[in-house]
Amino acid sequence: MCGIVGYIGKQKASPILINGLMRLEYRGYDSAGISTIEADGLSIMKDKGRVKNLYNLEGINDLKGTIGIAHTRWATHGKPSKENAHPHQDNSKSFSVVHNGIIENYNELKKFLIDNGYKFYSETDTEIVPNLIHYYYTNNNNESGKMKFLTAVKKACSDLKGSFALEIICKDFPDNMVVVRKDSPLVIGKGIDENYISSDIPAILSFTRNFYLLNDFEYVFLSRDSAEFYDKDLNKIDKETKSIEWDATSSEKNGYDDFMLKEIHEQPTAIRETIGAKFNENSKCEFDGLDFSKDYLSSLNRIYIVACGTAMHAGLVGKNVIEKLCRIPTEVDIASEFRYRDPLIDDKTLCIFISQSGETADTIAALKLSKEKGAKTLAISNVIGSSITREADYSIYTHAGPEIAVASTKAYTSQVVLLVILAIYFAEILESDSENLVKLKKEILELPKQVEQCLQLKDKIKEFAKRIYQEKDVFFIGRGVDEAIAKEGCLKLKEISYIHSESYAAGELKHGAIALIEKGVTVVGVITEPTLVEKTISNIQEVITRGAKTLIVTNQKVDKSMFDTVLEIPETNPFISPVIATVPLQLLAYYISKEKGLDVDKPRNLAKSVTVE
Ligand code: M6R
């Protein structure tokens, strides 16, 4: 979590830094700050609260420096406060540092520094970093110039356990900056006589399309017109830029009130782009870079799909399709649990990791473990060059465009579409059920149009949202793949409306949770599984009997008079119905949040990219 931005060029740095931070606020937004190199040394300006508060700080407009670093925080160590906000400096104010990640051994290093006379003024793990760099810098009489700066950073980083993306400026180097990363994202955008640094690409996309992607423990010595790269032992290395196709306007609101609403409406395009040229009705599925054989797929003992949050919910849909089309046992795991449960992995296991950002620490850790145990690993991400795609043996991409709102919408539906196409690709290699596959492909091509139709339900959904926005508890139920849809609708609601919600397999409710159903409680039922319609309706009947208010999302024939509100969505193959059935649930969460007057795009306590374990 946390977002970092840096600028080194000829323009005044502070507006560029603050502008970049605003675009990164989805990564954390409890405090923010910048440090620039001014004529009289390093300046620091920071405060508790949103990035925009920086504009109110006295003297911020007087900053003239053309080099600077900046940070928006999501608190891990120490409460949100001015003292804990970044940047942090060493005691002699020679170095300013911003950090994204967690230093796990900071207590031990803090003790070492205190024993060496250093004092600490914040509760953060980060404050040890500038002091440690200062310690190695002042104790190095063998080197001078940039190697002295780089060696101090390298020695400090070698002591750190955990994850970090760091930007460091030093008063002795008024024309330079050093950056490095380990397990936390950091990219460098190359301009003309200027360089931009950021936690992600969209934040600086309006300045450049050419990016350097850093690997762990690569050190960069930046000047206005150059970027010198060094490996972990400070040997110089070459690095090429990568050109990014997203355009800057795709990370703007484009007239929508919020990014979430914009992203919900972008789903038809995101799905179309994700389908891309992977197949047409008469051709087999193809994925650039995948070369799985029939022998390999037939030899698999199992597939694991590992992810977090919404991406994990997409995985649940993927499991359903892979098992049914390919008959390969498939398990879905929450990434933060996966590596601690000693999973059964060997070279006959395929592990699929889903992450919109490609930077989720739990997912990356699970991927590394799977590789160590000999599995082949396949990453699904929305971000080319993101950490999981660089770690995995194979990578395939959703093409949803930048997703800014914390609540994931277009990334989810694109992930589901991609997983279904992947399942078809496997099934075709395994030579199973070709007639049904052709039909399924036709149905996938209909999805963008069907999502458009679901978006037309928004007035009805808004009306229902107005009725229930003050409620305390909402339940989501469904059977089969409808349970996976219910889970996603439930997460969306609690995440942005702060209403307590639970999702259940509809048939499981009567084994306990039905005790919570009383007059007026809202139950959202999802009915898309044709073979389970009657069973699900019986379960919904059980809650109606106990006074529940019901909202039904369905593409099946049901007696509408039974329910309070019915949202009718287009009929499609049950494998892909989660794509369309989730859209009304996204809109429901959105409109409830709006009715409550909440910040839809930046819900409390959350961040878009969870780069801590
Ligand atoms: O970037 P990732 O897809 O790895 O993120 C995983 C989850 O943190 C994410 O899906 C989260 O659950 C969303 N905020 C849900 O809307």
Query: Are 140 and 235 in the same domain?
Result: yes
Q: Range of 359's domain?
A: 254-445
The structural domain count of the chain equals 3
What are 96-111's pLDDT values in tens digits?
A: 999 998 898 999 999 9
311 CB under 6 A from ligand 1? yes
% the chain with pLDDT above 70: 99
Strand order of the β-sheet with 31-38 is 41-48, 31-38, 67-73, 3-8, 195-198, 187-190, 210-213, 242-243
Query: Are 339 and 206 in the same domain?
Result: no
Residue 610 lies in a domain: no
Number of Cα atoms under 13 Å in the Cβ half of residue 318: 33
Residue 11 lies in a domain: yes
Query: Nearest C-alpha to atom 11 of ligand 1 is from which residue?
Result: 309
**Count of beta carbons in the 10 Å neighbourhood of residue 99:** 28
CB 533 within 8 A of CB 527: yes
Helix, strand and coil content of the chain, in percent to the nearest 5, comes to 40, 25, 35
Domain boundary among 396, 429, 445: 445
Catalytic residue among 2, 285, 308, 326: 2
Mean pLDDT of 141-149: 95
Which range is least confidently modeled, 185-194, 242-251, 265-274? Answer: 242-251
Query: Nearest C-alpha to atom 7 of ligand 1 is from which residue?
Result: 309
- CA nearest 486: which of 506, 500, 466, 470? 506
Token readout for 336 is 């933060």
Q: Is the pLDDT score of 33 beyond 80? A: yes
What are 545-591's pLDDT values in tens digits?
A: 999 999 999 999 999 999 999 999 999 999 999 999 999 999 999 99
Residue 582 lies in a domain: yes
The angle subtended at Cα 605 by Cα 264 and Cα 503, nearest 5°, is 60
Length of the chain, in residues: 613
| Alpha-carbon span 267 to 1, nearest angstrom | 26
Query: Are 150 and 175 in the same domain?
Result: yes
Query: Are 521 and 497 in the same domain?
Result: yes
- CA nearest 204: which of 188, 217, 192? 188
CB 339 within 8 A of CB 440: no
CB 280 within 8 A of CB 427: no
Residue 613 lies in a domain: no
Domain boundary among 198, 225, 244: 244
Give the SS3 label for residue 64. Answer: coil
Long-range contacts (CB closer than 8 Å, 24 or more residues apart) made by 14-18: 14/60, 14/61, 14/63, 14/65, 14/68, 16/196, 16/207, 17/68, 17/69, 17/70, 18/51, 18/54, 18/55, 18/70
Whole-number Å distance, alpha carbon 408 to ligand 1 midpoint, is 6
Query: Are 413 and 477 in the same domain?
Result: no
Whole-number Å distance, alpha carbon 344 to ligand 1 midpoint, is 25
Give the SS3 label for residue 604. Answer: coil
Catalytic residue among 182, 262, 410, 608: 608
Catalytic (active site) residue 608: yes
Mean pLDDT of 18-36: 88
For residue 472, which amino acid is it?
K
What kind and span of H or E run contains 476?
strand 473-478
Token readout for 488 is 């996603």
From residue 185, alpha-carbon distances to 55, 72, 101 in Å are 26, 14, 9
Query: Nearest C-alpha to atom 4 of ligand 1 is from which residue?
Result: 355
Q: What pLDDT band is residue 249 in, cutting at 50, 70 and 90?
A: low
Query: Are 165 and 18 in the same domain?
Result: yes
Query: Are 416 and 487 in the same domain?
Result: no
What are 428-461's pLDDT values in tens digits?
A: 999 987 778 989 999 999 999 999 999 999 999 9
- CA nearest 155: which of 217, 86, 100, 216? 217
CB 133 within 8 A of CB 153: yes
Query: Are 294 and 233 in the same domain?
Result: no
Residue 210's CATH number: 3.60.20.10
Residue 556's CATH number: 3.40.50.10490
Give the SS3 label for residue 406. Answer: coil
- CA dihedral 397→573→412→247, nearest 10 degrees, is 50
495 CB under 6 A from ligand 1? yes
Query: Nearest C-alpha to atom 12 of ligand 1 is from which residue?
Result: 309
Q: Is the pLDDT score of 192 beyond 90? A: yes
Whole-number Å distance, alpha carbon 592 to ligand 1 midpoint, is 20
Residue 605 lies in a domain: no
What are 44-86's pLDDT values in tens digits?
A: 999 998 899 999 999 999 999 999 999 998 877 888 899 999 9
CB 367 within 8 A of CB 378: no
User: Which pLDDT value is given to residue 608?
Assistant: 75
Report DSSP state, residue 87: P
Q: What is the pTM of this model?
A: 0.75
| Alpha-carbon span 7 to 14, nearest angstrom | 9
Q: What pLDDT band is residue 2 in, cutting at 50, 70 and 90?
A: confident
Whole-number Å distance, alpha carbon 609 to ligand 1 midpoint, is 7
Q: Tokens 């599984």 appear where?
A: 529
Give the SS3 label for residue 419. Answer: helix
195 CB under 6 A from ligand 1? no
Query: Are 13 and 157 in the same domain?
Result: yes
Catalytic (active site) residue 326: no
**Count of beta carbons in the 10 Å neighbourhood of residue 558:** 19
User: Which pLDDT value is given to residue 445?
Assistant: 94
Query: Are 125 and 232 in the same domain?
Result: yes
310 CB under 6 A from ligand 1? yes
| Alpha-carbon span 360 to 334, nearest angstrom | 12
- Write the DSSP assignment of 198-238 as a string of letters: ESSSGGGTTT-SEEEEPPTT-EEEEETTEEEEE-TT--EE-
610 CB under 6 A from ligand 1? yes
Q: Could you list the beta-strand ranges (E) of 39-183.
A: 41-48, 67-73, 88-89, 95-103, 162-170, 177-182
| Alpha-carbon span 115 to 428, nearest angstrom | 65
Domain boundary among 225, 244, 263: 244
Token readout for 430 is 């395994």
Residue 360 lies in a domain: yes
Query: Are 497 and 407 in the same domain?
Result: no
Query: Are 270 and 381 in the same domain?
Result: yes
Long-range contacts (CB closer than 8 Å, 24 or more residues apart) made by 147-155: 147/234, 149/173, 149/176, 149/178, 149/221, 150/178, 150/219, 150/221, 150/230, 150/234, 151/234, 153/178, 153/180, 153/219, 154/219, 154/232, 154/234
Locate the ligand 1 atom nearest the alpha carbon of residue 411 and give its number: 3
Q: Is the pLDDT score of 1 beyond 70? A: no
Whole-number Å distance, alpha carbon 132 to ligand 1 midpoint, is 34
Give the SS3 label for residue 372. Answer: helix
407 CB under 6 A from ligand 1? yes
Residue 569 lies in a domain: yes
Whole-number Å distance, alpha carbon 377 to ligand 1 midpoint, is 20
Q: Could you list the beta-strand ranges (E) of 61-204.
A: 67-73, 88-89, 95-103, 162-170, 177-182, 187-190, 195-198
356 CB under 6 A from ligand 1? yes
Q: Is the pLDDT score of 247 beyond 70? A: no
Number of H helices, E strands in the chain: 17, 25
| Alpha-carbon span 401 to 467, nearest angstrom | 34
Name the region of 183 (left: φ>0; alpha: ψ -120 to 50; beta: rest): left
Q: Is the pLDDT score of 225 beyond 90? A: yes
| Alpha-carbon span 18 to 356, nearest angstrom | 25
Residue 550 lies in a domain: yes
- CA nearest 579: which of 481, 471, 479? 481
What are 259-304's pLDDT values in tens digits?
A: 999 999 999 999 998 998 888 767 889 898 899 999 999 999 999 9
Locate the ligand 1 atom nearest the alpha carbon of residue 409 and give its number: 16
